[in-house]
Chains A and B, each alone.
Chain A
Amino acid sequence: MFAKKVFLGIATLLMTSPLLFSCGPNDPNVTYLRILNSEDYIGRGTYIYQEGDEKKEEDIDVINDFEEWEKSCGRNVKVIYETFDTMENMYNTLKTGKTKYDLVCASDYMVQKLVNLDLLERMDNKVTDIPNYEKNASSFIRDRLKNIKWGDKDKYNLDDYSVCYMWGTLGLLYNPTYELLDARGLKPDDVHNAMTSYDSLWDERFQKVVSVKDSMRDTYAIGLIHTFKDELKDKSIIERQKIFDYGGVNDSNAKEHIDLIKQDLLTLRDNIFGFEVDSGKEDIVTEKIGIDTAWSGDAVKAINNAEEEKNLKLYYSIPTEGSNLWFDCWTMQRGANKELSYEFLDFISEPNNAIKNMKIIGYTSSIQGKEIFDYYNKKYAPISNSSNEKYDVSYFFDDESQKELTIDKKYLGRQIAAQFPKKEVADSLMVMKDYGDNNDLILKMWEEVKHESLPIWAIVLFVIEIVLIASAIFVFAFLKFRNKKQRQQRRLKSAA
């Protein structure tokens, strides 16, 4: 009885305490920072890692760290952290402008759209505003961002409006020992070879084992690269990027080009297992599918899960034709608390905090430097001396001394390939910008790709059913009408 009372007491206390102790967003002593981010996209949670033979846990909360840090500087800051599920939904929220945010995390193309709507503040004075970012961000990333230009006479560029948070690629996550492939006589080596090209997705040998993204931009990128592979071949990165701009249709015959890509994607659709957005990274572990187009961070997670849960070795490959390089960036909304926003961005651009974020999220941060280099060296450290392997990451790390990671062989073509594409691959990656005016055309194309018209048997069945139902209704109405008439006649007769 007593226990019950105590329990109830605690319960009520817990339920009412937020009402009692938390201060509403109007508390004058507290400065609020409103952040809008993708789900599971910040260092918040428990990081489990292996050290020697024992499993260790580390509790991470970057947001809390930030608040503590502000407190140590004598400021009372509270972060209001909210999340969204898809970029498009976030865009709709910001467009209607009902809620104000200071910082919003958006993908590269989405930043473009937000700038076009004039919703963002410029952040072009990074030297004084965000010194940590200026110092630590990889010049590989910065250069790429500076080169994403658009608008009248290319007056906008991505670097002026955003701070890169995470970056990654789109690639093929695959299981070389997948049962169905084995049954078709494909040895692991054959699979490895096939995965160096997008042709495999169209290949009959891989029929019904591939899932592609149910996301217009990603699958369109694959269609674009596959359709224009000859045009993309052996070109400089600037020319390749030009082909990629505006969805590969920056010329007058946009319609024709989109039609070509559509035809290509329609044949792809008949060959694949299905479209997915979230389920793919689990399906490949449970062996529902053998190949999945995946974002690099998801790939790392899936590779780790498969190894832990089922002792299954998954691989990640970026086909030689090239792939989509993407950036998720922090943007500052119009009317934001600039000072505080810069402090937050500066805080997470500090290498140790960037590592904390990476530990939880699994994606690769835009921040480089000694600490990051050491982190990867430790994370993928060779297990024995004989399995040493050098891995070239010189394009990402700016310092001369941080050219090559020393990693274990077993990570090659797997986690490390997702985390850092090989140097020659990294140089061939394109960025899929906002489609601009072509967006409607491409959306229409996507609808057609996703839609399957009814098969013949269904049409026949459909017509028969409709005829039956219509005639039933007709007969029903007719009989009712006749009954009514008869009754009326009877009534008339009896009245007479």
Chain B
Amino acid sequence: MKRTLRFQRKYLCIPYVVFLVLFIVLPIVLIIFYAFTDNKGFFSFDALVDFFTTPTKISILLNSVFIALQTTIICLIISYPLAYFLANKKFNRNGVLITLFIMPMWINFVLRTGATRDLLTWLGINGGKVPYLATLIGMVYNYLPFTVLPLYTTMLKLDRSQIEAASDLGATPFQVFLRNIIPQSLPGVVSAATMVFMPTMSSYVISDTLSEGKITLFGNSIYISFSNSQWNTGSFLALIMLIIIFLSMLVTHRFSREPEARGGTW
């Protein structure tokens, strides 16, 4: 009797299990429940049929994938060299520069987006005329810190001796980059990409504000469904989003897991 009451180390997990069930498992179960019922609570495929027979919804999904992909690519193109330079102590003494790049993250992003809108209007890049450009600029600005940070940490951990060895053994700088630095930093690239791709897919405040309501992303679509009390359609859309995220996790997992990724893959 006494023994069972004694504190055991696994009891420390209880808060986490409660949290997990309450805020992660239960909501997902609810989403699945609503996605496959009608508004009277009976099992039905209405939402599924509705989604696949409405060209608008699929088109909105494509739209969001497009925007998310562009944002990811642009963010990576900008932050990859940036992280490389920042990881070099010569450029980034006592980390001031990296702090500057991450600073926007500390400001509430709705506020930030409002300010971006004013700035863009002032620059003449106006959401009413060029909705895609304005949205992309806003997205990249918002998610850049999320790519800089993981890339920066990977770059810090680059095996310098390996790079030196490569150039010692006669590799041209380009070869060093292609065959050594890229494979070494690939896990960072993958985690940076996932950090950007997923949230952009579901974000809607940025596109709504900066495109002046002209670009509807998947997040908007879900919001519209829920706000018009179409819970079943909305849940199904959310489920689709979950599946997409799950699929891309599967793909990226393969890349970041491999231990051989550290050099010598090619």
Contacts and interface: CB of A to CB of B under 8 A. Distances in A.
Q: Do A and B come from one complex?
A: yes
Interface of A: 86, 88-89, 91-92, 95, 208, 211, 214, 216, 269, 272-276, 279, 288-289, 439-440, 443-444, 446-448, 450-455, 458, 461-462, 465-466, 473, 476, 479-480, 483
Given A274-B212, A275-B212, A439-B228, A455 B132 contact: yes
B73 interface: yes
Nearest to A479: B266
Contact of B229 (A91, A279, A447, A448): A91
Nearest to A88: B227
B128 A465 contact: no
Nearest to A459: B66
A contact patch SS: helix
A127 to B, nearest CB: 36
Contacts of A476: 255, 265
A443 B212 contact: no
Contacts of B227: 86, 88-89, 92
B166 interface: no
A288 B120 CA distance: 11
Nearest to A272: B128
Contacts of B62: 454, 462
Interface string B69-104: 110010000000000000000000000000000000
B180 interface: no
A90 to B, nearest CB: 10
Contacts of B57: 447
A83 B255 CA distance: 48
**Most chain A beta-carbon neighbours within 10 Å: one of B57, B69, B211, B227:** B227
Nearest to B62: A454
B148 interface: no
B221 interface: yes
B31 to A, nearest CB: 16
B230 interface: yes
Contacts of B264: 483
Contact of B128 (A92, A273, A455, A458): A273
B59 A451 contact: yes
A490 to B, nearest CB: 13
B86 to A, nearest CB: 26
A453 B229 contact: no
Given A444-B56, A465-B73, A274 B228 contact: no
A276 B260 CA distance: 52
21 contacts: A91-B229, A92-B229, A208-B128, A214-B208, A269-B214, A273-B212, A274-B212, A274-B214, A275-B213, A279-B209, A446-B224, A450-B213, A450-B216, A451-B63, A454-B59, A454-B63, A454-B66, A465-B69, A473-B251, A476-B255, A480-B260
Interface residues of B, number: 40
B56 A276 contact: no
**Ranked 9 nearest A-B pairs via Cβ:** A274-B212, A275-B213, A273-B128, A88-B227, A214-B213, A451-B216, A274-B128, A450-B216, A448-B56
Contacts of A440: 230
Given A86-B227, A89-B227, A483-B264, 9 more contacts: A92-B226, A276-B213, A440-B230, A450-B214, A451-B216, A452-B214, A458-B66, A473-B251, A480-B260
Contacts of A439: 228
A104 to B, nearest CB: 16
Nearest to A446: B224
Nearest to A484: B260
User: Of B57, B60, B128, B216, which is in contact with the most chain A CB atoms at under 10 Å from its CB?
Assistant: B128
Given A465-B73, A479-B266, A480-B265, A88 B229 contact: yes
Contacts of B228: 88, 216, 439, 443
Given A86-B227, A447-B224, A480-B265, A458 B132 contact: yes
Nearest to A445: B56
A479 B255 CA distance: 13
A262 B70 CA distance: 30
B129 interface: yes
Interface string B253-266: 00100101000111
